[in-house]
């Protein structure tokens, strides 16, 4: 079995793969104060809850954009699983060519998205990840990572609006009944949610004008499921794309497939 760990700014997602398939996954908050032992107890609990024996895990991959937590999970893997995890970065053999000015600055989650998206659908593709930031990653038909776009995420925008405007409340992130709000909450929901859809559709249009109108668009990330119901610009929804990319990269690096 293989354990994939995606450490994001807001959440950390774990996934367990068996025979090439994701069989279990769970999500927790990315607390930078969490210790190595606390992390181990958390992972151990989830393994036991899903009837997975920790000793059955033979490989671990880590995709992290939070350096302080990266070390914690590396230490946990080494001490409790006796495994040196593979840290996802542009320095690995990813199977795609990175054309970023400095490949080492591309986020590990974006690399996983690009690799998984290209492996599953070929190119050209645009991967839209609705996370703490909304990111767009672009891969050419030849498997070249061309770069992308980084914009404030939907939750980030809503939180910042609440923080900076004294009379604007904290809101739930869902689409209001009507685009024209009749109260402050629905007005904010309309602006944030429909605004996010319009911004996404406009950005996809701009990118397609560069790489071709036949580019496939893949959505992932926490709010993707909500957004795709209100747009025709998304071709595929892949909720576990980062985890899948980690599994693909790990097996490419290790040149093997895990068996029970």
Residues catalogued as catalytic: 109
Distance (Å, whole) CA 52 – CA 26: 13
User: Which residues, 6+ apart, have CB-to-CB distance to 166 below 8 Å?
Assistant: none
The count of residues in the chain is: 260
Per-residue exposure over 44-58, b if at least 16 CB sit within 10 Å of its own CB, e if not: eebbeeeebeeeebe
Look at the alpha carbons of 46, 50, 54, 57 in this order and tell me if their dihedral is positive or negative. negative
How far lies 114's CA from each of 16, 121, 185, 189, 230, in Å? 20, 10, 36, 30, 24
């Amino acid at each position: 079995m293989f354990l994939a760990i995606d450490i994001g700014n807001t959440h950390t997602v774990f996934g367990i793969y068996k025979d090439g398939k994701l069989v279990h996954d769970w999500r927790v908050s990315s607390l930078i104060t969490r210790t190595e032992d606390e992390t181990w107890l958390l992972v151990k609990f989830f393994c036991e809850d899903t009837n997975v024996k920790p000793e059955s895990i033979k490989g671990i991959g880590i995709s992290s954009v939070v350096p302080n937590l990266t070390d914690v999970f590396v230490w946990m893997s080494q001490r409790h699983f006796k495994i040196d995890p593979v840290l996802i970065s542009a320095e690995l053999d990813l199977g795609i060519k990175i054309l970023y000015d400095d490949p080492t600055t591309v986020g590990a989650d974006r690399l996983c998205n690009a690799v998984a998206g290209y492996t599953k659908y070929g190119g050209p593709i645009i991967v839209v990840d609705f996370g703490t930031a909304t990111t767009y990653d672009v891969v050419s038909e030849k498997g070249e990572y061309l770069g992308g776009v980084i914009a404030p995420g939907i939750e980030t925008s809503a939180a910042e609006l609440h923080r900076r405007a004294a009379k604007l409340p904290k809101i739930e992130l869902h689409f209001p009944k009507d685009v024209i709000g009749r109260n402050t909450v629905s007005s904010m929901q309309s602006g944030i949610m429909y605004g996010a859809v319009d911004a996404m559709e406009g950005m996809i249009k701009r990118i397609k004008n560069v790489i071709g109108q036949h580019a496939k668009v893949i959505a992932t990330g926490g709010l993707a499921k909500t957004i795709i119901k209100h747009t025709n610009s998304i071709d595929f929804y892949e909720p576990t794309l980062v985890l899948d990319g980690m599994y693909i990269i790990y097996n490419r690096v290790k040149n093997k497939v895990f068996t029970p």
